[in-house]
Structure 1
């Protein structure tokens, strides 16, 4: 899997005047375009589009400093339609404009070329199970919040704190399916999954009961799920790590499955002091 991903990344270095063909990258990586983006973000710590932008501006900076070509020629060669657009992107990455960098030899920021390799770190096993589940309904409360990869998500925390005891009691009473109890749901994430991109966040219950007034409903189609149980995870870092381990360790070592579009479900039971938690992460997958 990682060898195929590395072959796909070679396209970033080619024909920098045109956008990267992510569909072709996915074919080279022997996976879907959706899974390619999800896997890359988990492994690299940044979206694929961000890596492409940084890498190509790194290549452009080499030409800027060399001074042999005009700034407009360099801009066009790296996919920008005007010198102004190129200058804005260049300044965002390097902190100075291309003209200033050429004149003064300013310090620039380089994005190294990425290559993924399999390493063994501690030999920690990733526990999982595969579940084929019929269609079901999630009923609860929804907010549109930004994506935060590490640490607390202030808007998500504020939404959860804003739910009263009557809301939690209603969700507990509605729950009559798997996963049981109150379920945190992430859905409708913007495609690039960049830090700060928006998503639908639910506190909900799997239920066959009618949706009470004032609640939101999410219908989930029949699909296969990879379920990752965890215990003793710190909040929020340890729980966020469950996602990272799923994409960074489990998917690369299980080429029989790849991630699929759909909601991601999380159940969490906190210990007495709230510092650690146990639960399950449900990720939609498809069999290959």
Structure 2
């Protein structure tokens, strides 16, 4: 477990050394020996914010320090931290600090600060997490997909479900699938099992889910709370303690059983592809 934590901490230190440079999520993830897909999932669960949000907050913290302790021009500080113009920098600065860069130089100005993260795992009592490891053959789904930004996907994907399922259009919504993560964006599918003898609904397409080993985590209770709780446990508790296996594939899957009358009886699964080491 310690090696995994050390790798993740190295990624934080890499971000810190390169705040004034162009940061690529693929390079950041590489320092933690993870794919960008899984790095961002783990980062969000462990740190409570996206990688992009963390980088912007650290840059705004450092920018404020430079404004208050140096005579550097605002335009130079803006350029240093990746902003194309003083106006875009000023807007971002005000969103974070609540005041303009000029006001930040006044005596007694109130500024916000996000200190660098330090990753450590502490034992806080045993939390039960039900899961099983199964081997599945490849299977094909049919569904609709949309491209999402990692920074805003938690808010936008539920809207996607609401839009699509308000008019079922031939889909039951058996699966939610994340695929084709390129570092900043990814595809999210609302899908069902593909039956070759049935017509493909309008606006839908097919996608083959690779075969292999999967870790299946059972979620019980109303959605999305039950799934979000288990998701956080997977990335912050289960994965750091995982032995004999490692993450596999650039995708993950949610499986939804048919809805029940009582939301408390809802059962769903989070499915993570893994492989033996």
TM-score for the superposition, normalised by structure 1: 0.78
Which residue of 1 is the match for residue 83 of structure 2? 80
Specify which of 92, 95, 117 is matched with residue 95 of structure 2.
Answer: 92
The number of aligned residues is: 269
Change (3 A) 1:96 1:223: farther
Change (3 A) 1:222 1:250: same
Please give the alpha-carbon distance, in whole angstroms, between the structure 2 residues aligned to 1:200 and 1:233: 23
Provide structure 2 residue ranges, at least 5 long, that are not aligned to the other structure.
none
Which residue of 2 is the match for residue 162 of structure 1? 167
Specify which of 3, 6, 15 is matched with residue 6 of structure 2.
Answer: 3
**Conserved in 2, the CA contact under 8 Å of 1:267 and 1:281?**
no
Specify which of 155, 158, 174 is matched with residue 183 of structure 1.
Answer: 174
Please give the alpha-carbon distance, in whole angstroms, between the structure 2 residues aligned to 1:111 and 1:259: 33
Confirm or deny that 1:261 pairs with 2:250.
yes
- Aligned-residue CA RMSD in angstroms? 3.2
Shift of 1:6: 0.9
**Conserved in 1, the CA contact under 8 Å of 2:177 and 2:254?**
yes
Which residue of 2 is the match for residue 179 of structure 1? none
Confirm or deny that 1:142 pairs with 2:129.
no
Confirm or deny that 1:277 pairs with 2:266.
yes
**Conserved in 1, the CA contact under 8 Å of 2:140 and 2:208?**
yes
Specify which of 226, 233, 240 is matched with residue 214 of structure 2.
Answer: 226
Please give the alpha-carbon distance, in whole angstroms, between the structure 2 residues aligned to 1:95 and 1:2: 34
Provide structure 1 residue ranges, at least 5 long, that are not aligned to the other structure.
172-181
TM-score for the superposition, normalised by structure 2: 0.80
Which residue of 1 is the match for residue 57 of structure 2? 54
Which residue of 2 is the match for residue 209 of structure 1? 196
Shift of 1:199: 4.9
Q: Which moved more, 1:123-132 or 1:43-52?
A: 123-132
Shift of 1:188: 4.7
